[in-house]
Amino acid sequence: MTQDWREHVPRLENLARTLGFDWSPVIFESVSDSFMTEIAVYGLPVRMPHWSFGARYIYQLVQRHMGHSRLFEVVFPGNPGHAYLAASNGVADNILVIAHVLGHADFSKNNLLFRRCQEQGSQQIVEHAASHARQIERDIEAHGQPAVERVLDAALSLEQYIDLDQALRRENYPEYAQVAALRVDDRFGARFASLDAGTCTELKPRKLRAPIPPHPERDLLWFIATYAPEMESWERDIFLAVREESFYFYPVFATQIMNEGWASYWHARLLREADFIPQNEYLDAIKCHSDVVRPIASGEKSALAVNPYHLGFTLWEAIVKEQGIDAARKIRREDDDFSFLRNHLTPEIAKDMGLFRYQRTQNGQVKVVGGEIEALREGLLSDKYNFGAPRVTVSEVRGDGTLVLQHDTKLDGRGLDVERTRKVLQYVKSVWRRPVLLKTLDAASQPVEISADAQAAA
Arithmetic mean of pLDDT over the chain:
82
Q: How many domains does the chain have?
A: 2
Question: Do 326 and 378 share a domain, yes or no?
Answer: yes
Q: Is residue 352 part of a domain?
A: yes
Choosing from 351, 367, 388, the residue where a domain stops is: 388
pLDDT of the residue at 104: 95
Task: Please tell me whether the overall predicted TM-score, pTM, comes out greater than 0.85 for this model.
Answer: no
The DSSP H or E segment spanning 86 is: strand 81-86
Choosing from 355, 371, 388, the residue where a domain stops is: 388
Question: Do 393 and 381 share a domain, yes or no?
Answer: no
Question: Do 310 and 358 share a domain, yes or no?
Answer: yes
The DSSP bridge partners found for residue 102 are: none
* pLDDT surpasses 70 at 68: no
Of 379, 356, 382, the C-alpha closest to 369 is 356
CB-CB contact of 105 with 298 (8 Å)? no
Q: Is residue 281 part of a domain?
A: no
Of 253, 265, 283, the C-alpha closest to 90 is 283
Question: Do 378 and 419 share a domain, yes or no?
Answer: no
Question: Do 307 and 382 share a domain, yes or no?
Answer: yes
Q: Is residue 149 part of a domain?
A: no
CB-CB contact of 14 with 99 (8 Å)? no
| Least-confidence region, from 89-103, 262-276, 371-385 | 371-385
H-type helices in 111-180, by residue range?
Answer: 112-120, 125-143, 145-157
pLDDT of the residue at 170: 92
Question: Do 371 and 438 share a domain, yes or no?
Answer: no
Question: Do 394 and 437 share a domain, yes or no?
Answer: yes
- Residue 425 amino acid letter: L
* pLDDT surpasses 80 at 78: yes
Q: What is the pLDDT of residues 386-399, one digit of tens each?
A: 888 899 999 999 99
Choosing from 388, 412, 431, the residue where a domain stops is: 388
pLDDT of the residue at 191: 61
Residue 7's contacts (CB-CB under 8 Å, 6 or more residues apart) are: none
Question: Do 367 and 414 share a domain, yes or no?
Answer: no
Question: Do 316 and 364 share a domain, yes or no?
Answer: yes
Q: Is residue 159 part of a domain?
A: no
Q: What is the pLDDT of residues 120-162, one digit of tens each?
A: 876 777 787 888 888 999 999 999 999 999 999 999 999 999 9
What mean pLDDT is predicted for residues 430-447?
93
Q: Is residue 439 part of a domain?
A: yes
Question: Do 384 and 424 share a domain, yes or no?
Answer: no
pLDDT of the residue at 34: 81
Question: Do 298 and 327 share a domain, yes or no?
Answer: yes
pLDDT of the residue at 209: 83
Q: What is the pLDDT of residues 172-183, one digit of tens each?
A: 999 887 765 545
The residue range of the domain holding 316 is 293-388
Q: Is residue 132 part of a domain?
A: no
* pLDDT surpasses 90 at 35: no
More confident residue, 358 or 392: 392
pLDDT band for position 23 (cuts 50, 70, 90): very high
pLDDT of the residue at 56: 42
Preceding peptide of 211 cis, ω within 30°:
no
